[in-house]
Structure 1
Amino acid sequence: MSEKSFKRILIVLLVIALAMLGGRIAKSLGDPVETLVDSQTAHNREIALRLGIATSVGPVPRAAATRLAERLAALSQNGLKLTIHPSTEFGGDERMLKLVSRGELSMVLVTSDFLARRIEALRVFDLPFLFSSRDALHRALDGEFGRVLLDKARQLNLEGLAFWDGGCRHLLADRPLSSPEAFADLRVVESDNRVNRAFFARLGVRYVTPDDTSAQAWEQTLSGVESHSDRLASAHLTLSGHTYFGHLLAIGRDVQDLLTARQQEILLEAAREIAWWTRVEQRDREVEIMKRLRGMGMGIEELPAEARERFRAILSPVEHGFEEDIGADVMAKLAEWQMLHENEATRVGEILIGLDAQLSGESARAGLELSRGIRLAIESINDKGGVLGRRMRLVARDNHGLATRGLENLKFFAGLEDLVAVVGGQKSSVVAAEVDLVHDLELPMLLPWSAARHLTENGFKPNQVFRLSLNDRWTAPFLADSALRRGSRIALVLENSSWGVEFEKIVSRHLNARGVRPVVLQWVDNGQERFDTLISRLRETGAEVVILVDTPDESVPILMELRRHLPSVAVVSHWGLLGGDMTAMQRKAIGGMDLRFPQTGFPNEPNHRAGQAMLAAYRRHLGMDENEPVHVMVGFAHAYDLVGMLAEAVRGAGSVDRRMVRDALERLPVYDGVMKRLHPPFDEQRHDALDDQDYRLGRLTPEGVVVPAGSDEE
């Protein structure tokens, strides 16, 4: 036997031995696959799935689980076998959820109430009077809004399949509650649900403890009312349907990956089919419950549509106040659905403004502030009669920080009749990819945040892009001069994108003209998590000050590393770091650093009259106390002012024709904005309303508040 043949035989034997050893190791470790896929039937692809059901799941969804098992068996010709188990088998609801998220249990059925403690987006079901009817809610869940919500389950390593109906909550009291005024002197059982408490507090009720028999009102589903009917015969039931009690059916993502593409399709099809069944079955059951309650003498009143609208208007600050918790992306998708499908009659004649921004992920906080600034301006305009006798409305879309999504959004906006302009988002790299398209579509774009020079200086005539924000033509020298006041050994730490590349050219040219060359030029990739090399280079070169230009996801970790390893190094940053959420620990640490960044004004300052008026309106919008401090980003004020300018342009054009509106923006004679008096804001050659004379340095306090850095530093 040749040496070559002998080596081949050894390799084959080694592979076989490793395969056998791997199988034994997997078995000894209790490989979760063994618990999910029956080893006796793996060859013919029969899959055994286990569904855990939370203790609070209602009778209809429990019955639906049995129907799901039957439907899966039928559709898969017994290839998918589902068994149903109560959560008590796994040690309770919490333990069950952990098992499915780790792939050790196949599927789970839990209430939206239970999951909302972990997935804040599901608190959308707790917002009162959000939908005009239960049918409208179901139609929304069957569309993109439902898909956005189901995708939130991925936070727990779950894949949401469907929401099954568990009924709506109604109002029980010693009187009918058909108007907001009826709540004035009620005593209500206090709930541990934050949205619920805000709802009742807005109506002026007084809370009592759950065991206080003086309570006059509380919430219940009809199933809940029936279970307490022995002591509620004299109560009045107002069929308000103001919040939804849903059930999420989800599969562990690790388990889903074990299924074939066809099996995944079958599972999704069956889950959606059963969702429809739960809606019909739940309603039929509720009809029977109401018959029994009426037979006991309980008064039951249907809440009229006009009363629902009154409640919705009074409770809108609750909706706005929880938008940050729930997610601007979720609320934007719901508002879009309602505009297109639920409010078709009321939106006739409305003037639409689009917002294409990152409403989820790293810069979601900035996207939320932009949308709030636009909405607040629209609210003020509509309260004064609108524009050309027509009301304005915001249509916001999440671009996820991706240029491809942004381009899709722009095409959607361009197809909306009476949409006059779109407001661009935070990322300069995304807006840069959109510039050609907005000119092809002849769609005016307003920029309240993104700062790359070429966004407005784009070479197009006529130019569709207008900006009230920083322009890096001036921001880069402004930051460079600020850095030079702190030291001559300057490091550039820049996002590895078109934004960072352009910024590097401008700032390096400015530094070179002053005889300074950066000691470090470090590019940071999107999603980068480790910065050991950066810290080493800064230490080795003796850098005294860092010019940081990046988004929040990278800026905040970099600042934390500098705080830990090089606390004496000063930082001059672009304002991109402010676009995300910081933890209390991060705010305290970063607020204690020698950190400066540009601002175009400080509307929070006590002597800023226009800013204080805007913030008072902001408090009313969110239902805040009149003296409660408000900490908004300057992008909020920019968006607010840009919408005001747009309204003036529409008035000047006397039309919603986009070409005429674009031309009118260039001809605005003067605009008294929150940030400053602009005379004029734009002209044919200049599409930046601000310049370097408007820039000031800001700093962050340990409480996370942006304040002026001090006149001696500017």
Structure 2
Amino acid sequence: MGHNLNPGTAMHWAASLFANEIYRKTHGRISIEVFPNQELGTDQEMVEMAIAGNLDIILTPTAKLSAYVPAMQFADLPFLFPSPEAAYEVLDGEPGQRLLKKLDEFGLKGIAFWSNGFKQFTANRPILRPDDFQGLNIRIMKSRIIADQFKSMGANPIPIDFHKTYQALGDGIVDGQENPLVAIAGMKFYEVQSHLTISNHAFLGYVLSFNQKRFQALPEPFRKTLVATAKQITPLQRMETEKKEKEYLDIIRQSGCKITVLTSAREKQFFMDLAFITDKYTDVIGDNIMDGAQKIIGKYRWVDHGNNDPVIGLTADFTMSSPASGRAIRNGLTFAVNQINKNGGVLEKKLRVRVMDDSGIPSRTRANIEKLSRIPSLVAVMSGKISATVLACLDLVHREHIPLLIPWSSATAIVENGYNPNYAFRVSLRDRDVGPFLVSHALEKSNKVALLLINNEWGKSNESAMTRALFDRGLRPETVQWINMGTISAIPQLTQIRQSGAGVILLAADPETSILAFKGMTGIDLSLPIVSHHGIIGGRFWQTAGPLLSKIPLTFIQSFSDTARLNTRQKEILNNYRTLRAMNLADTIMAPSGFAHAHDLAQLLALAIKAAGSLNRPDIRNAME
């Protein structure tokens, strides 16, 4: 038997107990030798050995089996389990048995889930709310679910080998990490991290499994003994883990590392902000597993599903190029809904929000809206930042008669779409209006204007608006340069701009592409002023390109700012939001225009529902118009 933990852990204690019990019960006819601490190889190597028949028994983290059984990512879903008891009942019950059964086709016989404890956050600053991860580099094990979790909170997840994590933390390559207490104490991460947050945000389960052929070759009485003994030891192993965790906490506390336990209110905030990840990966894990798990979890965490209450869907980018925009829109929407419900809701019902991640990909936006359209009580869908995703679903929302609330996307054709009746409602900028505004500011700097545009529908919308505004002034662009999403350099386009003799650049691009432009300009020593659309907002632009702004003058448009002169009502709304999110009243709000527009759209929707006196979507559309 092989596993990756050291001999002082509950996992090794239970593995040794299992070996001793099997030897005793079979009167020495089965002898199991336990190899801890990756003595036989890495987790991946041991899995491959077990599948090939070169290792009889393995204890493996669920995440390490996900390359073979993607559903094994199940335990990594953030804040899924409200307690150890909930996790144990799910994994010992039908959902867990379905997961173990999936190992059969890869030559493994899954027997039981053992516990290495719940994962906790560490960092060099307090982590009390999702926003505290903003801008941090976080070490993770390689996992899409875990990467999406941290991206959606504004962090930069970096996969690093577990045994290199201490060095990476000490060298400042990463600012924090997640692991159970056994790893935090065992690897002495507390020496290079000042804060530990007891978040219990994901269960680190280990699968006890056998090589299938080796197992089936044993006489049936021995097979029954192996399975029965493993299941008898399972609760003992979990109890030993919980006992050890108290010892680990004492060690960490004595080191001077500050320990904070999330309150139930803060845990709920994390749970609500990250709930979309469970939705996103349900298809990977399987509806039958997720449905069974949620029924069990419901006994431990009361959730008011409000099956007959009106639902607002949100599909936005939380994990790719503009995650800050998705968070800002979600925060504005959910805050408004919270206030609406506090004031009695709509038509004696509470509004609900269903959040889904589309990663800024049009096909995923369509798929999300198709799923949302199957909710009988759906009253509207709110979109994210990227115009291309909104344009791609206009036919769908009109076919299904779904009011589409647009808090950011500015492509002119989104609202001027030719549909009658029109279900698209925007509270944001419109490219046809932004073009002349940006051109006027650009001409204050030079009458030789170059356009640098993202090569998609939004970029084309801006080309039309900006070019027309220049033509109206008797001018034309010196050059129009297009950048494809995902490209690795903007230097070819910037070289063309330099050769054109332009004196100012009009920019319309997403944050990642804008970063390329600024880095490229620095690389070729091009310091033309930039006048930008609001596309630079909502991603990693400021934290990545911010230091370059001393060399490249930047002017950009933003439709709302929480640092501008505000009226009394605006101040009240923003301060109430800051209080709800446990922020300081002086804290700035991330991507404030997305927050404000989403908030206002939700309030307008509520007013429309009340005016219509109905939850019928065409009636709501008519009232909104």
The alignment's TM-score, normalised by the length of structure 2, stands at 0.64
Q: CA deviation at 1:193?
A: 6.5
Does 2:289 correspond to 1:330? Answer: no
In the other structure, the counterpart of 1:166 is 115
CA contact (8 A) 1:126 1:196 kept: no
Q: CA deviation at 1:362?
A: 0.9
CA contact (8 A) 2:117 2:205 kept: no
Task: Please give the alpha-carbon distance, in whole angstroms, between the structure 1 residues aligned to 2:229 and 2:559.
Answer: 54
Q: CA deviation at 1:329?
A: 4.9
Task: Please give the alpha-carbon distance, in whole angstroms, between the structure 1 residues aligned to 2:111 and 2:472.
Answer: 62
Task: Please give the alpha-carbon distance, in whole angstroms, between the structure 2 residues aligned to 1:130 and 1:599.
Answer: 43
Does 2:265 correspond to 1:316? Answer: yes
In the other structure, the counterpart of 2:87 is 134
Q: CA deviation at 1:586?
A: 2.4
Q: CA deviation at 1:473?
A: 1.2
Change (3 A) 1:585 1:291: closer
Task: Please give the alpha-carbon distance, in whole angstroms, between the structure 1 residues aligned to 2:612 and 2:418.
Answer: 25
Task: Please give the alpha-carbon distance, in whole angstroms, between the structure 2 residues aligned to 1:552 and 1:580.
Answer: 5
Q: CA deviation at 1:619?
A: 1.9
Q: CA deviation at 1:489?
A: 1.3
Task: Please give the alpha-carbon distance, in whole angstroms, between the structure 1 residues aligned to 2:580 and 2:37.
Answer: 42
Greater gyration radius? 1
Q: CA deviation at 1:85?
A: 5.8
CA contact (8 A) 2:118 2:202 kept: yes
Task: Please give the alpha-carbon distance, in whole angstroms, between the structure 2 residues aligned to 1:532 and 1:639.
Answer: 36
Change (3 A) 1:329 1:572: farther
What secondary structure sits across from 2:557 in the alignment? strand
Q: CA deviation at 1:499?
A: 1.8
Paired AA for residue 320 in structure 1: Q
Q: Deviations over 1:330-358 (max 9, x none)?
A: 37659997998646764233221000111
CA contact (8 A) 2:529 2:553 kept: yes
Does 2:466 correspond to 1:482? Answer: no
CA contact (8 A) 1:53 1:86 kept: yes
Change (3 A) 1:423 1:191: closer
CA contact (8 A) 2:442 2:504 kept: yes
Fraction of identical pairs, as percent: 26
Paired AA for residue 246 in structure 1: L
RMSD: 5.0
Q: CA deviation at 1:443?
A: 0.8
Equivalent residues in 2 for 1:208-227, closer than 5 Å: none
In the other structure, the counterpart of 2:623 is 664
In the other structure, the counterpart of 1:531 is 490
Equivalent residues in 2 for 1:286-297, closer than 5 Å: none
Q: CA deviation at 1:403?
A: 1.5
In the other structure, the counterpart of 2:553 is 594
CA contact (8 A) 1:168 1:241 kept: no
Task: Please give the alpha-carbon distance, in whole angstroms, between the structure 2 residues aligned to 1:141 and 1:632.
Answer: 43
What secondary structure sits across from 1:395 in the alignment? strand
Paired AA for residue 375 in structure 1: T
Q: 1:284 aligns with which of 224, 228, 235?
A: 235
Greater Cα offset, 616-625 or 454-463: 616-625
Aligned residues: 474
Does 2:606 correspond to 1:654? Answer: no
Task: Please give the alpha-carbon distance, in whole angstroms, between the structure 1 residues aligned to 2:321 and 2:264.
Answer: 29
In the other structure, the counterpart of 2:344 is 385
In the other structure, the counterpart of 1:503 is 462
Higher relative contact order (CA 8 A, sep 6+): 2
Q: 2:11 aligns with which of 53, 56, 59?
A: 59
CA contact (8 A) 1:223 1:286 kept: no
Task: Please give the alpha-carbon distance, in whole angstroms, between the structure 1 residues aligned to 2:363 and 2:401.
Answer: 19
What secondary structure sits across from 1:602 in the alignment? coil
Equivalent residues in 2 for 1:370-519, closer than 5 Å: 370-519=329-478
What secondary structure sits across from 1:53 in the alignment? coil
Equivalent residues in 2 for 1:175-254, closer than 5 Å: 192=122, 198=128, 244-247=202-205
Task: Please give the alpha-carbon distance, in whole angstroms, between the structure 2 residues aligned to 1:530 and 1:496.
Answer: 14
Change (3 A) 1:195 1:384: farther
Paired AA for residue 530 in structure 2: V
What secondary structure sits across from 2:555 in the alignment? strand
In the other structure, the counterpart of 2:602 is 643
Q: CA deviation at 1:428?
A: 0.8
Paired AA for residue 11 in structure 2: P
Change (3 A) 1:315 1:608: farther
Does 2:522 correspond to 1:569? Answer: no
Change (3 A) 1:99 1:283: closer
Task: Please give the alpha-carbon distance, in whole angstroms, between the structure 2 residues aligned to 1:461 and 1:287.
Answer: 61
CA contact (8 A) 1:350 1:393 kept: yes
Q: Deviations over 1:498-523 (max 9, x none)?
A: 22123212221221221212112111
Equivalent residues in 2 for 1:17-96, closer than 5 Å: 53-55=4-6, 58-59=10-11, 63=15, 86-87=36-37, 89=39
CA contact (8 A) 1:321 1:622 kept: no
CA contact (8 A) 1:619 1:626 kept: yes
CA contact (8 A) 2:114 2:206 kept: no
In the other structure, the counterpart of 1:688 is none
Change (3 A) 1:597 1:577: same
Paired AA for residue 602 in structure 1: S
Task: Please give the alpha-carbon distance, in whole angstroms, between the structure 1 residues aligned to 2:229 and 2:586.
Answer: 47
Task: Please give the alpha-carbon distance, in whole angstroms, between the structure 2 residues aligned to 1:390 and 1:565.
Answer: 59
What secondary structure sits across from 2:393 in the alignment? helix
Q: CA deviation at 1:409?
A: 0.9
User: Unaligned stretches of 5+ in structure 1?
Assistant: 1-49, 68-82, 101-105, 113-120, 147-160, 171-189, 200-219, 225-239, 250-275, 294-310, 667-714
Q: Deviations over 1:362-397 (max 9, x none)?
A: 111111111111111111112222222211111011
CA contact (8 A) 1:317 1:620 kept: no
